[in-house]
Structure 1
Amino acid sequence: MKQVEIYILSGFLGAGKTTLLQQALAEEQRNGRKAAVVMNEIGQVSIDSDAVPNGTPLKELLNGCVCCTLSDKLEVQLSELLNQYDLDVIYIETTGAAHPVEVLDSCLSPQLADKVRIHSIITLIDAPAWLERQKLKIPLRKLVTEQAKHADIMILNKIDRITEKQLQEIEDELHLLNPKGLMIPTSFADIDFHKIQNAERIKRTEHEQTHAFNHLHMKTYVHSFSQPIDGQLFANFLRALPDNIYRIKGYVRFNGDPKTYLFQYAYGMPIHTASGLKMKTILVFIGDELDHEGLQKALSELEKNSREMPL
């Protein structure tokens, strides 16, 4: 099945997300790829939607933030785009107040997990504003830091407004904060898009492939079950999870129980509630440097052992 790439554009207010989006869409058009946009605005009116070229499929999420109050609506909008258009890529421009991991979580509903592939979280960092971030209120300062920390690619923008010494200072700080992220200094969000687009696509030698994947540390893993599983074995699996797994969500069924359960896991706390729906049993994992092979092995073993358990 074809999977549509998703880029999440993160960054605080005024960092240059819309400028980058315009350049990205122009590059996709030059490459003959069909792109769509989801644009989120906290207010009731979309300010930046005029920046999207005519003919580009556009969905707007207004009057809220996609990472919290509008997370369910994002799933609907993505589903509509996937059903209505033959797409290669979707760009999600978040509000300046969005946390990128929460947005990533909202993108990966179990219904969408096998239809989309998160290419990267791209955070734009306003270089002069970063130097002045201590003047922000503590919650905002923490948000700006989190946006940089969880980026696969950090675009350090507006470097024409700072000195070489200040640039080195910011680069050193960002490298300590996010040592695995790819950093691109620039002005006017003007970058070579091959650095972003080829980060995952180049697969020439094993060494180059490994190097490329090391940049993209926020990972997802999708696992489908062919049958119900044992509840106690599943609980044991969850207790043994490493702390680099931030989220799990999906649907599960248990031995001896006809119901399908909506399952969610965050910050080490599992919750499952009867969904009332007959859904495909599938789990979506989100974390930092996920061990895909290890998860696949553990879950396959869980399913195998569940078959051997008495009902």
Structure 2
Amino acid sequence: MKKVEVFILSGFLGSGKTTLLKNILTQEKENKRKVAVVMNELGQVSIDSNAVSEDTPLKELLNGCVCCTIQGQFEVQLQELLQDYELDSIYIETTGVAHPIEVLDACMSPLFASKLTVQGIVTIIDANRWKDRHTLTPQFKILLQEQIKHADVLILNKVEQLTEKEQAQNVFEIQSLNNQAKCLLTSFASVQLDDIRTYQTLERKPHEKTSVAHLHVKTYVHTFSGPIDIDIFEEWLRSMPESIYRIKGYLKFLHSKHNYSFQYSYGTPIYMKELMNYPLTLVFIGEELDPVWMKAEMNGIETKSIREM
């Protein structure tokens, strides 16, 4: 099954996210790829929607942030895009105050996570704002650092306003927060589409190799074939790596007729009875998740559970 690529565009208001989006959409159109856009605004009126051409499917989420207050609406909009269009990629332009990991979490609904491939988190930084970050409030300083720390691609924009020495200093400071991300210096958010890809999915010649994806934060989706033993599952939770910090989805347990929705974050598992029979799918979010290891672990839980039947 062909999966739809997802790009999360993160960064403070005024850093150049919409300009970046326009540049990317132009290149996608030249490549004759089918793309859609989700734009999130904190206010009640959309400001930047005219940046998206009429022939590009667009969902607008207003008066809230997808990472918290309107996460449910965001999931509905994504599901509608996946159902109504045959897409190659979806670009999500976040609000300036969005935490990229929370946006990633909102993308990975267990109902459709298996249809998506997260290409990465792209954080664009206003070079002058970074240079003058000491003028920001403590909360905004922390948010800016978080947007940088969790990015797969960092774009230092408006560098034409800095001297070469200032550019070098900015890059050094940013990479000290995140030395794994690709760092690009731009004016007017001018980047090539390939520069923000974590791996290639565009058409290529037979002799060309596909580069390996290297995401800072990774996701893994697993669907169980049937009910599992809750004691075996909880024993696994207690011993799992600390690098897994978010799990959500649906489960069914032996000796119970009910389905359960499951949420795990900050060390706390939460189970809630579900009236609907959703697919028994779990989504894991964490750092450096090894999909081969994860699959073996989940298959192991199923195998042990069968022995308990």
Which TM bucket (shorter chain)?
Answer: over 0.9
Residue number in structure 1 paired with 2:166 = 166
Per-residue CA distance 1:271-299 (angstroms, 9 max, x = gap): 11112211110100111111111111111
Residue number in structure 2 paired with 1:54 = 54
- Residues in 2 aligned to 1:50 and 1:77: alpha-carbon distance in whole angstroms: 19
- Residues in 2 aligned to 1:128 and 1:137: alpha-carbon distance in whole angstroms: 16
Residue number in structure 2 paired with 1:37 = 37
Residue number in structure 1 paired with 2:96 = 96
What is the deviation of 1:68?
0.4
Normalising by structure 1, what TM-score?
A: 0.95
- Residues in 1 aligned to 2:167 and 2:48: alpha-carbon distance in whole angstroms: 29
Residue number in structure 1 paired with 2:83 = 83
After TM superposition, the runs of 4+ consecutive aligned structure 1 residues lying more than 6 A away are 202-206
1:16 aligns with 2:16: yes
Per-residue CA distance 1:52-96 (angstroms, 9 max, x = gap): 112111110000001101111111001111111111111110000
- Residues in 1 aligned to 2:290 and 2:299: alpha-carbon distance in whole angstroms: 14
Secondary structure of 1:209 counterpart = coil
- Which shows bigger deviation, 98-107 or 134-143? 134-143
Q: What value does the CA root-mean-square deviation take over the aligned residues?
A: 1.6
Secondary structure of 1:201 counterpart = coil
- Which shows bigger deviation, 10-19 or 165-174? 165-174
What is the deviation of 1:201?
3.5
Letter in 1 for 2:135: K
Secondary structure of 1:114 counterpart = helix
- Residues in 2 aligned to 1:92 and 1:233: alpha-carbon distance in whole angstroms: 38
CA change 1:198–1:291 in 2 (3 A) is: closer
Q: Which ranges of structure 2 fall in alignment gaps of 5 or more residues?
A: none
Residue number in structure 1 paired with 2:211 = 209
What is the deviation of 1:198?
6.5
Per-residue CA distance 1:154-179 (angstroms, 9 max, x = gap): 11111111111111112112222111
Residue number in structure 1 paired with 2:296 = 297
1:265 aligns with 2:264: yes
- How many residues were matched structurally? 306
Residue number in structure 2 paired with 1:105 = 105
Alignment of structure 1 residues 156-235 onto 2, 5 Å: 156-197=156-197, 199-201=199-201, 209-210=211-212, 213-214=213-214, 216-235=215-234
- Which shows bigger deviation, 142-151 or 112-121? 112-121
Letter in 2 for 1:302: I
- Residues in 1 aligned to 2:268 and 2:166: alpha-carbon distance in whole angstroms: 42
